[in-house]
Amino acid sequence: MKTTARVRRVGIYVRISDGREGGGLGTKRQREDCEQEIAKLGWKFVDLYKDDDTTAAERGKKRKEYLRMLEEVKSGHVDAIVTWHPGCLYRQPAELEDLTIIAEDHKTEIATV
C-alpha cells in the first residue's frame, strides 16, 4: 500500500528590524529565499506574513503579522512556517516558548532557509 505525504500549507514569515535598504528589499530577498525552500520541499505557499521595520528584541512590542500568523496556525489555515532565519521569528525566550507550544499543539512544521 502506497502512502502519500501530506502537502504542507505554508506561511512565509519575513521580518527586518530596520529597513535601511528601503522599499522592503530586505524582506523581498527573504521571501524569495523562502519561496525557493518551499519549492524544494514540495510544499504549497498559502500566505505571507511581513513585519517590515519591526523589532523582535523589545519585550512587549507587538508584531501584527507575526500574531496573525500564530492565529492562522491555530485555525489550521497554515500548518508549516518557513522563515529566513530563526531570529526573524523570535528574540525573546518567552516568544520561543509560545511558538514551540503552538507549533507542537497544532503539529506545525517550521523550516528556515
pLDDT tens-digit readout, 37-70: 999 999 999 999 999 877 777 776 789 999 999 9
> SS3 for 22?
coil
- Looking at the domain assignment, is residue 83 inside a domain? yes
> SS3 for 100?
helix
Tell me the pLDDT band of 3, cut-offs 50, 70 and 90: very low
With cell 504542507, the residue in question is 8
What pLDDT is attached to residue 70? 97
66: containing domain: 9-112
pTM of the model: 0.86
- Looking at the domain assignment, is residue 2 inside a domain? no
- Looking at the domain assignment, is residue 4 inside a domain? no
pLDDT tens-digit readout, 63-89: 999 999 999 999 999 999 999 999 889
CATH number at residue 20: 3.40.50.1390
- Looking at the domain assignment, is residue 1 inside a domain? no
With cell 508549516, the residue in question is 80
CA pair distance 22, 87, nearest whole angstrom: 20
- Looking at the domain assignment, is residue 89 inside a domain? yes
Residue 36 scores a pLDDT above 70: yes
DSSP state of 62: -
Q: Assess contact for 50 and 88: CB atoms under 8 A.
A: no
Sheet holding 109-112, edge to edge: 44-52, 9-16, 80-83, 109-112
Q: Assess contact for 109 and 80: CB atoms under 8 A.
A: yes
Look at the chain and report how many structural domains it folds into. 1
